[in-house]
């Protein structure tokens, strides 16, 4: 596989970044101080390069009508400058991808997990048929810089002015940063307040530099993927390709805000409606808090006695809780928070843990299950 480099690769190297491969991309894992990066994002403000995320733009006369029949949420009602969370499903109600959907003036921008732009783009082209809709992949020409933490708004106010700051989740504005036209989007990627700044790749270094300059008074610090990962696990936010895959039904993962039950038909809608109104799913994504010091491995199995009842999908050590935590699926009859379980790793080790409601901390609301 040809590993791709972020547009700001040289800048990250100059900051002392240690890198890791993530799918097709080489991304910063940390800048030599993972605990400090976590602390900045949790208590002050951090800056991160997320330019490897997939980005598709749909335009043309029928692009909204086309997406309305493909996505799980009601995109037709979106006004310019607004956005929402949604997913694409198979006819059997399993997930192809989740995404953030942003309504622009004459188009819609889709934000996807890294690597999913090709998969989703090809699927959309396959189903486009007679719809007059264009589908353009912007992934390598457009970067994303994310500002995260309690003082993220303070930094952005200094950069674009308080009057230009997006107010609600998924709101976005077109403005100028460091002389470059950008889109600023309000979004919680880690449970903490945050903003994504989309800019053409040739202007990313200027945008990064100005954000660092204006964030200096707030103690801004670059954050690698290691710190961001534990933050999002603490917030109970599932990620496609890690906590969700092509065998996941959205309701299992608790992503109810991606679903609309009032809109018309979309691919997979009958399965989702049937579960919502007449049935239930057999497993749920929940949290696990370990008694010991060892972080459970991804793929570890969850047992109650000798009965296998689940598996771990994400894990890490929570500095705020002082304990190892994990996300994973558990059978519905054992989902009650406080349920005592064993987590058995592939190497045969056993960790005692309890089931926990999500988020552990840093989220907006407790996850809903059926």
**Each residue's pLDDT tens digit, 183-206:** 999 999 998 999 999 999 999 999
Tens digits of per-residue pLDDT, 113-157?
A: 999 999 999 999 999 999 999 999 999 999 999 999 999 999 999
Structural class in CATH, domain 53-138+249-278 = alpha beta
Report the pLDDT value the prediction gives residue 94, as an integer from 0 to 100.
Answer: 98
What's the rounded mean pLDDT across residues 207-227?
A: 98
Structural class in CATH, domain 4-48+140-234 = alpha beta
Place 289 in a pLDDT band, splitting at 50, 70 and 90: very high
What's the rounded mean pLDDT across residues 32-49?
A: 97
Place 362 in a pLDDT band, splitting at 50, 70 and 90: low
What's the rounded mean pLDDT across residues 282-302?
A: 97
Report the pLDDT value the prediction gives residue 283, as an integer from 0 to 100.
Answer: 97
Residue 366 has pLDDT above 70, yes or no: no
The span from the CA of 107 to the CA of 134, in Å, is 9
The span from the CA of 369 to the CA of 358, in Å, is 10
From residue 16, give the alpha-carbon distance in Å to each of 95, 222, 249. Answer: 38, 10, 41
Tens digits of per-residue pLDDT, 68-120?
A: 999 999 999 999 999 999 999 999 999 999 999 999 999 999 999 999 999 99
* Neighbour-count burial of 170, counting CB atoms closer than 10 A to its CB (0-12 exposed, 13-18 middle, 19+ buried): buried
Tens digits of per-residue pLDDT, 230-257?
A: 999 999 999 999 999 999 999 999 999 9
Q: Which CATH number fits domain 282-356: 2.40.30.110, 2.60.40.1180, 3.40.47.10, 1.10.10.10?
A: 2.40.30.110
> Which of the two residues, 59 and 369, has the higher pLDDT score?
59
pTM score: 0.95
Place 278 in a pLDDT band, splitting at 50, 70 and 90: confident
Domain boundaries, the chain: 4-48+140-234, 53-138+249-278, 282-356
Report the pLDDT value the prediction gives residue 237, as an integer from 0 to 100.
Answer: 97
- Asked if 40 and 220 count as a contact pair (C-beta separation under 8 A), the reply is yes
Closest to 165 measured CA to CA, from 138, 185, 182: 185
For tokens 């993530």, name the residue. Answer: 22
Place 264 in a pLDDT band, splitting at 50, 70 and 90: confident
Report the pLDDT value the prediction gives residue 369, as an integer from 0 to 100.
Answer: 59
Tens digits of per-residue pLDDT, 160-186?
A: 999 999 999 999 999 999 999 999 999
Report the pLDDT value the prediction gives residue 363, as an integer from 0 to 100.
Answer: 56
The span from the CA of 76 to the CA of 246, in Å, is 26
Place 365 in a pLDDT band, splitting at 50, 70 and 90: very low
Provide the H-helix boundaries in the chain: 9-14, 34-43, 63-68, 116-128, 152-160, 204-215, 225-234, 269-278
What's the rounded mean pLDDT across residues 336-345?
A: 97
């Amino acid at each position: 596989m040809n590993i791709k480099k972020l547009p700001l690769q040289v800048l990250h190297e100059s900051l002392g970044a240690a890198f890791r491969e993530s799918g097709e991309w080489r991304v910063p894992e940390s800048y030599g101080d993972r605990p400090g990066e976590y602390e900045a994002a949790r208590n002050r403000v951090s800056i991160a390069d997320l330019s490897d995320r997939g980005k598709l733009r749909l335009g043309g006369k029928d692009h909204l009508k086309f997406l309305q029949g493909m996505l799980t949420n009601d995109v037709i009602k979106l006004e310019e400058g607004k956005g929402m969370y949604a997913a694409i499903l198979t006819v059997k109600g399993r997930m192809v991808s989740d995404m953030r959907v942003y309504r622009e003036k004459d188009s819609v921008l889709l934000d996807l997990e890294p690597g999913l732009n090709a998969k989703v783009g090809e699927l959309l082209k396959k189903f486009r048929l007679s719809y007059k809709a264009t589908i353009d992949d912007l992934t390598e020409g457009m970067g994303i810089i994310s500002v995260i933490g309690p003082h993220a708004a303070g930094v952005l106010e200094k950069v674009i002015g308080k009057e230009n700051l997006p107010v609600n989740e998924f709101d976005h504005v077109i403005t100028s940063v460091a002389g470059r036209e950008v889109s600023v989007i309000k979004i919680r990627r880690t449970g903490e307040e945050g903003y994504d700044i989309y800019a053409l790749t040739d202007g990313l270094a200027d945008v990064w530099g100005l954000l660092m300059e204006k964030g200096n008074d707030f103690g801004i610090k670059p954050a690698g993927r290691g710190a961001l990962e534990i933050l999002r696990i603490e917030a109970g936010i599932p990620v496609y390709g890690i906590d969700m895959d092509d065998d996941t039904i959205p309701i299992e993962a608790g992503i109810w805000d991606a679903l609309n039950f009032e809109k018309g038909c979309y691919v997979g809608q009958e399965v989702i409606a049937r579960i919502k109104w007449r049935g239930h799913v057999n497993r749920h994504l929940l949290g696990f808090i370990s008694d010991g010091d060892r972080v459970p491995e991804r793929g570890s199995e969850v047992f109650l006695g000798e009965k296998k009842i689940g598996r771990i999908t994400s894990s890490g050590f929570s500095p705020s809780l002082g304990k190892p935590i994990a996300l994973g699926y558990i059978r519905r009859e054992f989902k009650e928070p406080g349920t005592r379980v064993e987590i058995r790793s592939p190497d045969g080790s056993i960790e005692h843990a309890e089931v926990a409601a999500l988020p552990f901390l840093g989220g907006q609301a407790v996850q809903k299950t059926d």
